[in-house]
């Protein structure tokens, strides 16, 4: 809700706009990495129980 209310202020002020772009980029990178880390056994820190269905 705060993002919707403050979006116009963030877009109009250059300092806030740059910070928003940096945070959004870091968030996107983290989400993509976590998505692949959970799906791939090699880079995952978790060991999933596969119930012998490993191919």
Q: Which residues contact 50 (CB under 8 A, 6 or more apart)?
A: none
Provide the residue range defining the domain that includes 53. Answer: 1-55
pLDDT tens-digit map of 28-41: 999 998 888 777 76
| pTM exceeding the 0.75 threshold for the entire prediction | no
Judge contact between 24 and 16, C-beta under 8 A.
no
pLDDT by residue for the chain (55 residues), tens only, comes to 777 888 888 888 999 889 989 999 999 999 998 888 777 766 666 666 666 655 5
Domain count, the chain: 1
User: Which residue is listed with tokens 């976590």?
Assistant: 34
DSSP letter at 13 equals: S
- For the chain, what percent of residues have pLDDT higher than 70? 71
Token pair for 22: 């940096």
Which residue in 22, 20, 26 sits closest to 2, CA to CA? 20
């Amino acid at each position: 809700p705060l993002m919707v209310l403050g979006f116009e202020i963030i877009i109009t002020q250059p300092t806030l706009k740059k910070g928003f772009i940096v945070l959004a980029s870091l968030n996107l990178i983290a989400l993509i990495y976590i998505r692949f880390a959970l799906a791939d056994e090699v880079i995952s820190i978790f060991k999933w129980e596969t119930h012998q269905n490993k191919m």
